[in-house]
């Protein structure tokens, strides 16, 4: 993950950079807003962490410009200005999160992970083609293929598989599936969802060397290659 740090305090910028590197991110530092914009225009970043008070171009204006040219990049604002008005100004400019200095690096890392996760999920939600291993779902044509062979699904089976593909390798509880696929909170003590999972398994996994839809006893179901 490429992360741009926009911070004119050299000590703070380098500290954040070291912490990000230690956690396997790839940070780049810009010490003013103007240079940050040049980097953003020439390179793809997964996240921007920016102070508000900056030379050349302040963080709020930087954020507004980013939202015009690369609206998908999540932004975390850092500032010593902790008033409600400053926070609102930053969020209104398009920031995804806001932290007041001084802050703990552990909290910053938690915010970074959360913002990146939301960004990735949002990106997945807008993809027309979802895939996992040799399974592919096309949202535009409403078709599904496993190992390049088309699989015929009912509309509800399609929605169920789509939800699995937007949440791969994550255990999904029956309640979560009910709420997101059926938009209901019906009694999850029934085997309604289990029946549909079995329908899907028979079409997706049957006659294949490895299975993709698995049960986690007492927890739910997961799309995973085991």
Q: Residues 169-200: pLDDT tens digits?
A: 899 998 889 888 887 665 545 688 899 999 99
Residues in the chain: 226
Identify whether residues 155 and 109 lie together within a single domain: no
CATH of the domain at 194: 1.10.10.10
User: Do 98 and 143 reside in the same domain of the chain?
Assistant: no
* Domain span including residue 21: 2-124
**Of 75, 100, 124, which closes a domain?**
124
- Tell me what pLDDT residue 124 has: 59
Q: Which domain-ending residue is among 106, 124, 142? A: 124
CATH number for 37: 3.40.50.2300
- In a shared domain, residues 110 and 172: no
Q: List pLDDT tens digits, range 22-77.
A: 999 999 999 999 999 999 999 989 999 999 989 989 999 999 999 888 888 999 99
Q: How confident is the model at residue 118 (pLDDT cuts 50, 70, 90)?
A: confident
């Amino acid at each position: 993950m490429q992360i741009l740090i926009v911070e004119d305090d050299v000590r703070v910028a380098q500290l954040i950079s070291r912490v990000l590197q230690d956690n396997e991110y790839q940070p780049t530092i810009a010490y003013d807003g103007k240079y940050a914009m040049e980097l953003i225009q020439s390179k793809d970043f997964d996240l921007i962490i920016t102070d508000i008070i900056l030379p050349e171009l302040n963080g709020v204006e930087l954020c507004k410009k980013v939202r015009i040219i690369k609206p998908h990049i999540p932004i975390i604002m850092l500032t010593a200005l902790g008033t409600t008005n400053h926070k609102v100004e930053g969020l209104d400019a398009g920031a995804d999160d806001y932290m007041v200095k001084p802050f703990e690096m552990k909290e910053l890392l938690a915010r970074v992970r959360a913002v990146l996760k939301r960004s990735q999920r949002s990106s997945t939600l807008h993809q027309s083609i979802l895939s996992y291993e040799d399974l592919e779902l096309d949202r535009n044509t409403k078709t599904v293929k496993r190992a390049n062979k088309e699989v015929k699904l009912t509309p509800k089976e399609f929605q169920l598989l789509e939800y699995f593909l937007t949440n791969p390798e994550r255990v999904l509880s029956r309640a979560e599936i009910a709420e997101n696929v059926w938009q209901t909170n019906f009694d999850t003590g029934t085997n309604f969802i289990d029946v549909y999972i079995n329908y899907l398994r028979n079409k997706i996994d049957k006659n294949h060397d490895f299975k993709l839809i698995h049960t986690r006893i007492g927890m739910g179901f997961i799309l995973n290659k085991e």
